[in-house]
Every structure is written in structure tokens, then in C-alpha cells.
Amino acid sequence: MWFNRENEELVKELSTNLDKGLSKQTAQERLTQNGKNELPKPKNKPWIVLILLALLDPLSIILIVAGISSVVIEKVISNEVHLIDFLVIISIVFLNAIIQTIQQVKARKSLAALEQMTVPKAVVIRDGEVFEIPTSELVTGDVVILEAGKYVPADLRIIQASNLQIDESALTGESVPVEKHAKIITENKLVLAEQHNMAFMSTFVTNGRAVGVVVANAVNSEIGKIAAGLAGAKQEKTPLQLRLAKLTKFVSIFALFLAVGVFLFFFFTDRPNWPVNLMTSVTIAIAVIPESLIVIVTVILSLSTKRMSKINVIVKKLDAVETLGSVNVICSDKTGTLTQNKMTVKKIIFNNITIDSEGYKYNNSLHDEHFINSLTLCNDAINEKNEKIGDPTEIALVDFTRRYTIKESEWRKKHKRISEIPFDSERKLMSTINVIGNSENVYTKGAIDELLKKCTKIYQNDKVVPLTAEIKTELLHAAKNLSLDALRVLAFAYKKFDGNKDNLEKDLIFLGAVGMIDPPRPEAITAIAAAHQAGIRVMMITGDHKDTALAIAKQLNLASSSANVISGAEIDELNDEELKNKFNDISIFARVNPEHKTRIVNCLQALNYVVSMTGDGVNDAPSLSKADIGVAMGITGTDVSKQAANIILQDDNFSTILKGVEEGRNVYQKIKRAIAFVISANIANVLAFLIISLTAGIKPFDSVNILWFNLIIETLLAVPIGFDSNDNRLMLDKPRNKKESFFTNSWITILFVALTTTLTVVGTFFIGREVFQDLDSAKMATILVMTCTPAIYVFALQLPNYRIKAHHKWGKVNYYLLGASLIALALNFMIIYTPGVNQIFLLSPSGEQYITVPTVSWQMTLVAMAMMTGPLLMLLAYDQIRKAIGR
């Protein structure tokens, strides 16, 4: 606790000199011994490690085991080794791992591009001389000079201060700058926001000047402690990871039981050729497992992240997109996220009447002139070249007066300031003496109750009249009404300077007052309404007082009364169960600290909410890390918050979050449709294989044919589903349950497609056998139908009633899917009719090395093509039946 130390104690404990600072030698020794004044950044895993982690995915492991098993079994059966199956499986697993790694590396580069390229500097005193050095070279005991417009480079105990105000919103969430001083504080325990003789690393000096001594830096600073706390945060699995893990587990167990069941069936039905039976069982297992699934999901997510980047969202990890679509609660920081982080004049008390700031008209009267002068000249804020320096309150005044005057810098040159009495917390006033033409005027601003005590007259209707007790009461009542709306009220007065500085703030003429607030972002209001329509709760979390929070919440339509607001102190009085019960009514959390934010997220997650936390400050980082999806601001966000978040908004726009939610919901539907397509095709293949094997006594296709279909054809047809246009009507739905299965509301479609395809494939085999009296031709026709039919009926799955949710209307043609379908058909014909290639895929007739395309093959092809249209026609008929029933 440095805030209650005497200067002598500081000198002793830090081994420094408060006048001359450290010696250069001592500073260098401490830098060498303790390291640089930098926050630890998470070490980026090498790309090879990222690939290895992707290979440890459960489905990847299953595929690798299946590939190895195929080699081992073939070696046992025939004492030969053909590596085609194994190489195909391993290639697809590595392809998926590489795609995931590329996405993570791209996100890493995008994040690095957001960081400022300039090296921050600090002004220090060493050996009695003033130097400017990189902030990374600061050490404990350094004496630092602070000025307005600069960031605090380390945790400092202030030893000298002049009109010092610091914006601590990044650390505490408090939007109003805090007045600082160099006095000793005698209390033994204070929260950060109450340590008024301390300046903390990464906060911003808005006004004044100070000298401080470094008491903590790097990881030992307050911001460093928060950053260090994030390192041990456990990363929870995303909803997509949970669903895929559940699907993988189910499919793996089913494949194992089915393979064992088939093997035992053959064994107990007098089929003694156990090696063949074992290979058949392995083929069935391979047919069940959706080997292409991980690649399909990865590519669709990659396409989505590319779209997200176009709407100013950087996705650090692929599955974060889908998680954002699952969100049903957004816990948002107020300052800079829901509000503009810019104080703005909203109300004016002028001529004893309260009006909107837009309604104020400058009429070139003396009253107007003095009022505008008081706002501009009794003001130290600077707004030059798009750089605003100073107290946010004074910047708001400058922004307002720019509507009626020239630039404040030129106005101040014209009306030179010759003296001033700085603002202090006891007087709550600031006064300046400025040259106005041939005379000198006193301009004073401050708290309205204190200023009225100094006034004896008032301007009304361009006339100076006595300030009566009745008028004072009216003015105080008007100011109170503004305060009830959480507006910060500043009042202004003036008089002709009579040369007596002792009476500078006496017998003033009251000019008027303004009410200011950090207003909501207009787009945030719209976005919150859209969130509510989408069934998403928005909760505002802030370090501001309850009244301020409630006033902003009302404007954002987040709250209607104080019953919707709870403070951090009130949260401390509740246990977790009591806090959870409050969530039905509470949507605003005021005066909270980082621990409160994390606790709020924990309680919401315990109630099975999928929680998004948005923020830009250091104080947001722990909760950003804990939330299901952390959203950091790219422009105003601190490096710590960006490291903790899952996604980063490059435009700091709350409404962009809703665009991300829409993208997340759409990508989930696309993944769901792709999985429905893959699973229905795999079920059809397994059923067809079993029916033909059991009834005809032959294996209709080999494992290499299954792998060709599962890994190449399915992938080729399923990935383009990711190119479907988004459907904004998904934002009219309620958020889905995070435990929802991929197959919710889709089993009927999956089974219908699977059964119609099974009938088609089985029918092709038996018709081919009867027509051609040739098992090889029948087998080839069956394989052709099995691999080509999905390329035709995949379009039926895009019809309204065959999307997993019936929101789609015919719109833009998915040319990627059309092209993929044509390519799939061409590839399938190629592996059958290309000499040499058909031998690799075990499609050569018995006793021949390759097919020479005899007449019967073309007849076989025509039969197969006719059969392929079966599922499409049945799906179209099914669609019409459902529509008729729906009427």
C-alpha cells in the first residue's frame, strides 16, 4: 500500500531521490536485474505445435486408427500392403490440421496489425536531468513527469500535482476523470478508484501536470496483476466443440458395435472365411465414420471468418464464430462500448429555461457572447488536428462552442488569458481573467450550488437583473432535474475585472449552465433492439454510479426503473444462488470491479446461458477470458483485453456484434445442413452395403470406394454449402439451446434421404445384375449411383423444406455448389472409365486390367443415370406433400 507512505518512506524503500531521481547507473542495474517494464504477452505456439494439437482432435485420432487398421488387416489377410486407404485418410487429416493452423496464424497476424507501431515514451528525471526514454526502460524508483495527453507508464505514487485529472476507465470502468493530488492518505485499505494520490499504468492524463515515483511496473503493476491472472484461466469448450465431440463419440461407438455385430453375424451364419468377414466389417466401420466431417466443418468456418473480416471482426479461433451464434446473453461494458466515451453537452439552462443543446440559438447578444466566452476561455482543453487533450468535460464544452465561434486556440489568442485561479476540489470553481477588447473580464465555471453563492446578479433576456432567492431556487431545481437524468451540471458566470484579485470570485453575474453526459452510441440502441428481437438479453456492466448507469440504460431501453439496477456493494451481500435469482429483474450492474464481472459471468453460465462479454479496458480482461465468447474493441481496447478475447471488433461498434451473431447463426445452419447431407449419405451407403452383402452374398464395394466417396465426393459437395447466402430471418428466432443436437428437427429429412438413396443404390445393383447378367457391371453401376446420386439430390436439400429450418427462399444461385456437383460427376466417371485409374479403385472387371468401355458399360451408365434421378424426384414429391399438409 503505497498511498499511505510518507515521502521519507518512499525514498528509503525505493532507494531513490525524489528531487534528482535515480542515477543512470542504478537505473541500468535495476533494468538488467528486474527486466523491462512490459506486460507479458502470451507466447505464440509454433505452427508445428498448432498442427499437432489439431491432429489430437478425437475424430482425427479415429481416422488415423482406421487407416492403420486397414493396413494391418490387409497384411494379415493377404500378406500384402496397399497404402492407398491409409494415405488418403492421413492426407485428409493433415489437410484439416493445416487449414486450422493457417486460420489461427492469420488471426494472429491481424491482431498484431492492430497494435500501435509507435514506441511509447516517458519523461524521467535521472541524475537531476530530464530525459525522454522508452516506457519499457522504466524501473522502480524512477521519478516520472506526467502531462496532459500522456498515458501513465507505470504505477506511480504522486509527489507533486497541479490540476491533475486522470481517466481511469480502462482500469476501473469509471467514465469520469478522477482528480488526483500528492497528499498523504491515512486509511489502511482503499479500492483503486479511491487511491487519489496514485496513478496507475495504462490510465490517461486528461488534465494538469504531476511528478510521481515508480512504485510498481510490468507484472507488479495493477494492470500487470490482471494480465498475469489471465494466464491461468481455463478455456472452456465451445458449443460447437461439445456437439462435435458428442457426435464423434456416438458415431465411433456405433461404428464399433456395427462392425462387431456384422462380423459375429457372418461367424454364426456359417461364413467361415473370417479374414474376408473381418475386412467387410472394417469396410462397414469406415462407411459409418464421416471421415470428411472435420474438413467440411473447418472449411465452412474458414469461409465464415473471411466474411466476418469484411464486417470488421477478427476471429482468433475458428469455432468462435459458431459460439457467437449461440449467445443468448451479452454482458456489455458501458464506457466506450454502449456509450461514445465522449462527454457531450445535452441540456442548457439559459434565461432560466432548460432547453436541449440543439435548441440553443446564438443571437450575437452580450448574454450569448459572455456565455460562449465563459465556456471557451475558462477552459484548458485542446482540440487540434483531431487530437483532443484535456478533461472530457472541458472537451465537451469546446465541441459545443465550436458551433458558434472560431477555433478555441485562435479565440484564446485573441482574448489572451492574463491570470487564473485553477480548479480545486474544495472551491469546486475555476476562474480566468481574459482580455476582451479594451477591457478585462473574469470568467468563472464550476458546481452550480457553489457558483450561485458567488453571484449577485443574473442575465435574463439580455438584461442584468438581481439574482433573487426565488431565482436561485428555480436554478437549483432545474439543475437537480438534470442530475436525476445523470447529467453532470456545470454553471458559468462573469464580471468586469476591477483590478482586485482578492475579490475575483465575488459579485459575479450568472450566465447559465450546461448538462453533460457520455451519450449512448446511436447504433447501440438499434443493436440492442435487434438483440432483444433475436431473443438475446443485453446486460450493462459499468463502474459508474447507479444513477448514471440507470440514466444511460433508460436511453438504451435496457432498464425502466431502479429495480433493474444493482451495485457491486449489493452483489457482495448476496451469495451465488441469491444473485442468480436476481437475474430475472436485473439488467444493469453498477459500481462493479473485475471480480464482480467474473462472478456475474460464472453465475450466468451456471444457469446454462451462453455468455458474451464485451469490453475494451484492462478491467474487462478476466471476464472476457471467462465468458463463452469474449469480444474486445480493436481501436480503444487495451492489449490485455485483446489477448483475453475470442474476437476483436475493428470498428469498436456494438452493432457489429449483432452482425457477428447473425453470421454465427447462419454458419451453424450451414454446418448442420452439411452434416445432415453427410450423415444421410453415409447411412445410405451402410444400409445398401448391408442389404446387398446379406442378400446377394457379395461385397458391393470396397473400402477404397467408400473412402473415395466419404473423403472426396462428400467433401466436394458439402463444402460449397458454406457459400450459401445468409438468411437474416434467422435473427427472428430465439437462440438455440447449447445442448441442442445437430440432428434436432432434421432426423426426418436425414432418414428420408437415406432411405430413398438406399433403395436407389440397392435397386441399381439388382436391376443391373438381372439386365447384364454380370456382377462386375452391376457392381460398377451400383458404385456409380452411390457416388453420383448425392451430386444431384444435394440441390433438393437446398429447397425451403429441406433446409434444417425453413427460412430459405430461392435467391442467388450457389454457383459453387453447381460447379462442385458437375466436378463430382466428372470425377466419378473418370475413376470408372480411365484406364489404370479404375484399377487403383478396384473397378476393373474380373480378369481385366481396366475397362475398355464396351457397349454394355454405356448401357450400364444409362441405367445408373436413370436411377440417380430417383431420390431427387422423391424429395420433390415429398416437398409438395409437406406443403399441402402445411396448408
Query: Which DSSP string do the residues of 237-291 spell out, in sequence order?
Result: PPHHHHHHHHHHHHHHHHHHHHHHHHHHHHHHTT---HHHHHHHHHHHHHHHS-T
Closest CA to 416 of 445, 399, 450, 439: 439
Q: Which residues on adjacent β-strands are paired with residue 146? A: 210
> What single DSSP character describes residue 390?
S
- Residue 615 CB contacts under 8 Å (≥ 6 apart), including other chains: 332, 333, 337, 621, 623, 624, 631, 632, 633, 637, 641
Taking residue 355's Cβ as centre, other Cβ atoms within 10 Å add up to 13
> What single DSSP character describes residue 510?
E
Contact 717, 826 (CB under 8 A): no
Dihedral angle over CA of 484, 490, 495, 501, nearest 10? 120
Which cell numbers in the block locate residue 436? 476582451
Which cell numbers in the block locate residue 469? 432567492
Give how far Cα 229 sits from Cα of 522, 621, 626, 843, Å. Answer: 35, 9, 11, 61
Rounded-to-integer distance, Cα 334 and Cα 620, Å: 11
- Residue 34 CB contacts under 8 Å (≥ 6 apart), including other chains: 139, 140, 218
Contact 451, 510 (CB under 8 A): yes
**Is residue 333 annotated as part of the catalytic site, yes or no?**
yes
Q: Which residues on adjacent β-strands are paired with residue 492? A: 445, 512
Q: Which residues on adjacent β-strands are paired with residue 130? A: 125
Rounded-to-integer distance, Cα 15 and Cα 33, Å: 15
Phi and psi (nearest 5°) for 28?
-65, -40
Which cell numbers in the block locate residue 75? 497384411
Q: Is the dihedral of CA 361, 455, 437, 513 positive or negative?
A: negative
Q: Is the dihedral of CA 373, 379, 380, 384 positive or negative?
A: negative
Taking residue 807's Cβ as centre, other Cβ atoms within 10 Å add up to 15
The residue annotated as part of the active site, out of 142, 155, 319, 333, is 333
Which residue do the cell numbers 456545470 mark? 490
Rounded-to-integer distance, Cα 222 and Cα 399, Å: 33
- Residue 677 CB contacts under 8 Å (≥ 6 apart), including other chains: 714, 717, 718, 721, 753, 790, 794, 797
Which cell numbers in the block locate residue 757? 438413396
Length of the chain, please?
887
Task: Tell me which amino acid residue 726 is.
Answer: N
Query: Which DSSP string do the residues of 551-572 spell out, in sequence order?
Result: HHHHHTTS-SSGGGEEEHHHHH
Which of the residues are catalytic? 333
